Amino acid sequence: MKLSQLKIGQKGIIKEFTDLAMSVKLMEMGCLPGEEIKLDRIAPMGCPIAVSVAGYQLSLRKKEAATIELI
Amino acid sequence: MKSNIKVALVGNPNTGKSTLFNLLTGLNQKIGNFPGVTVDKKLGLCKLADGQIAEIIDLPGTYSLYPKSADESIVLEILSNKNNPSFPNLIIIVADATNLKRNLLLYTQIADLRIPVIIALNMIDLAEKSHLQIHINHLAKLLNVTIVPLAARKNIGITELKKAILHCPTIALQYPSIAIENIATALIAEISLELKIDNPYIALQIAHQHKSLKYIDKANHPLIEALKAKHHFNSQKAQAQETIARYNYINDVLADTVKYPAIALEENISNKIDHVLTHKVWGLAIFFGILFTIFQSIFSWSSYPMALIENLFVGLANLSHAYLPQGALSNLLVDGVLAGLSGVMVFIPQIALLFAFISVLEDTGYMARVTFMMDKLMRKVGLSGKSVVPLIGGLACAVPSIMSTRTIENWKNRMITIMVTPLVSCSARLPIYTLLISLVVPNKYVGGFINLQGLTLMAMYVLSIVMAIVVAWVMKKIIKSREQGYFIMELPVYRMPRWHNVGITMYESVKTFVTQAGKVIIAISIILWVLASYGPGNTFYNIDKKYQNNKFNNFSVDEINKLKAAEKLENSYAGVLGKSIEPAIKPLGFDWKIGIALITSFAAREVFVGTMATLYSVDGDDTKIEPVRNKMAKARNTQTGQLVFTTATAFSLMIFYAFAMQCMSTMAVVYRETKNIKWPIIQFVYMLVLAYGCSFVVYQVLK
């Protein structure tokens, strides 16, 4: 399952990334394999999304969230 | 004062770095809750005990030494080059105690640069409140670094931090974090050898970023590229490997030193607020509600102080006329300088209010939510959610807003944002709008509470933003780029605005406006007064002579003076100038007097009101001193006898000022940010064409 497929309030654990360039940026921001990630909110127009990860809130676009595979 | 030690402040965005900088130096700078408000390097001096002075450099907030945006790259540029004039003796890493793991990533990178380091562990009060246990002494021992717990907002720990700066080591004592050489052993060795670099991490960073580091000689680029190819160096893979290794190290360190609360805390307040503020329907409604309130308040709250300033200047002019000796010099002072200044100073309350509102929106963290909500819409027109901040900032002034576009990573998004930001109505247009609206829109309330003038003003602002979006969409179709944009942004927790900070923003904005605009306005007022008071050859002599003719015997002295003044102005240098462009602006409903204002406000819009004030003072009758608004309201065309400022002319003029690029400072900053003269020229031309076209349509329709 991908991060972009989570429902609001649902949690997942990061397994791997499907895009190398994106993974570098996401990991710097604390999205690491093994981290728990929760979908908090979706923006009014359906994108971007806000997730809780590594103790803070991060927003990213759906397309970017689709590069994160969850366990 | 000479500093003995150079200290650099480094840290993630939203860690309170700028607040700490203010506390240490007492120097004022803009602080915001939005990631990346600190775009330029900020300097300040800090007094330590023993009379020692430290020079503090506030570097842009960044999550890592691999920059995502233009302003972040300055951090590595300074910290990896011993010869850089800003190279520090000590780095203070400002880390958020509530989010230690992510904050320590930057620490481990900085630690490997082998510069002495202190960790300022900020927001320790918030960490305690959420039952997060950090064993600071143990952590300090594991890293072999001084850690000072802080609560910068509450002014706790500052004395201890100053002590730590005073007693900082002269060489880097912190333990190295990871085995850098393992990432690219042979490449690091060869780069170190070729470029004579003694630090393996800097050698690795050069492999990654040599093209964007200015201190690396261009001649070395092919060599470094060749070495990278030889050793099959994949920048992204190496970076991923490094980041994972660093987090493994951090996890080991934190495992023994930080205890997270056993049960997950109830949903925090920020999240609850966001349920409402970023709600599908309410979120957008509240956003527009906030904008609406801002514009209503600007009009209603500022009316009293504005009347006060207006009366003050009328009083001053009366006094000057009563006590100054008659003559050219006092005329210049009263009709030129004083009239010009009063026309503009009146708007201080409105400008202060606008800046205060924007500062509160940024400081509370609400601006980041606006970015979040608007991203999809913005992307459709070739912008990014992050463009919202410069666009809203454009309501105050385009110059700092264009500088803040550096946080936009994608080149095309950034260029389009820069190109359209000056279309958003800035505070310099506010005086023009208010003046013209008060001339032609009645001061009435609709539905009991909506002020018609306020509504018109808001319509002007909405129109300017809509136009910015339309132009952005057109540019999206024109500008070609294959670069992919992304939007990975921290949403900071909501915080109360720091009122002290809002006060400083108001004060600074007014100070800049008064000194910068004031200087230009005084200079142009003087030139204009001279141009309007003298004419070519002996035209003025001839006019004087003409009115001595017998046929004017039936007129009173007052009437003759008035007729004379009007004819002199029309034949003065200014009049000739205005008349020469009259054919071009007549289709827009402008007469030659407005033409003069267009010419004088070519470099800065603020001058318009001052020009009007000066022109109508020269023209007006000396026995009555009135605010410029009243003079303009009575102005009539000398040929047709009709009112000059009809609804059609006023709106056409507002549209012209809304869309035309009449600001030298903006053009200068666009050139500086794009580094290509092409962009400010394109911008100037398209805005002029747009302004002329729209004004033409408005005048012809309303006429």
Q: How confident is the model at residue B400 (pLDDT cuts 50, 70, 90)?
A: confident
B311 contacts: CB under 8 Å, gap ≥ 6: none
For B388, the 3-state DSSP assignment is helix
Separation CA B575–CA B557 (nearest Å): 24
pLDDT(A47) > 80: yes
Rounded-to-integer distance, Cα B244 and Cα B177, Å = 12
Contact B145, B119 (CB under 8 A): yes
ipTM confidence:
0.94
State the count of interchain CB pairs (< 8 A) between A and B.
102
Q: How far apart are CA B111 and CA B124, in angstroms?
A: 22
- The residue of chain A with its CA nearest to that of B98 is A55
Q: CA-CA distance, A3 to A9, in Å (whole number)?
A: 12
Q: Once rounded to an integer, what is the mean pLDDT over residues A40-65? A: 91
| DSSP SS3 for B660 | coil
How far from chain centre, in Å, is Cα B384?
Answer: 18
Interface test with A, best of B287, B383, B488, B490 (most A CBs within 10 A): B488
Sequence-ordered list of residues with C-beta below 8 angstroms from that of B509, at least 6 positions apart, any chain:
B351, B352, B355, B396, B397, B427
Confidence of residue B35 (pLDDT cuts 50, 70, 90): very low
Kindly list the structural domains of chain B, giving each domain's residue range(s) and its CATH number in brackets, ordered by start: 5-166 (3.40.50.300), 307-346+499-630 (no CATH)
CA distance B353 to B509: 10
Instruction: Encode pLDDT of B519-567 as tens digits.
Output: 776 777 788 778 878 888 787 888 888 877 777 777 777 777 777 777 7
The angle subtended at Cα B151 by Cα B356 and Cα B39, nearest 5°, is 50
Q: Which of B140-144, B509-513, B625-629 has the highest mean pLDDT?
A: B140-144
Residue B514 vs residues B298, B339, B348, B551: alpha-carbon distances, Å = 19, 15, 8, 49
CA distance A49 to chain B (A): 8
Q: Do A47 and B488 touch (CB under 8 A)?
A: no
Where does B455-538 show beta strands of DSSP type E?
A: 489-490
Buried b (16+ CB within 10 A) or exposed e, B182-212: ebbeebbebbbeebebebbbbbbbbbbbbee
Q: Tokens 């397309």 sit at which residue?
A: A63
Q: At residue B300, what is the residue type?
A: S
Q: Cβ contact (<8 Å) for B240 and A23?
A: yes
Q: List, edge to edge, every strand of the sheet that includes A49-53.
A: A68-70, A11-17, A36-42, A49-53, A56-60, B489-490
Residues of B with Cβ-Cβ distance to A43 under 8 angstroms: 278, 372-373, 375-376
**Structural domains in chain A?**
3-70 (2.30.30.90)
Residue B33 pLDDT exceeds 50? no
Picking from B203, B204, B184, the residue whose alpha carbon sits closest to that of residue B195 is B203
Q: Which residue from A minimizes the CA distance to B261?
A: A55
Which chain A positions have a beta carbon within 8 Å of B272's beta carbon?
none
Residue A43 in contact with partner chain B when CB distance is under 8 A: yes
Is the distance from CB of B451 to CB of B300 less than 8 angstroms? yes
pLDDT at B523: 78
Predicted confidence (pLDDT) per residue in B588-608, tens digit: 999 888 888 888 777 678 778
Per DSSP (E only), the strands in B185-300 are 258-259
- Whether residue A29 and residue B493 make contact (CB cut-off 8 A), yes or no, is no
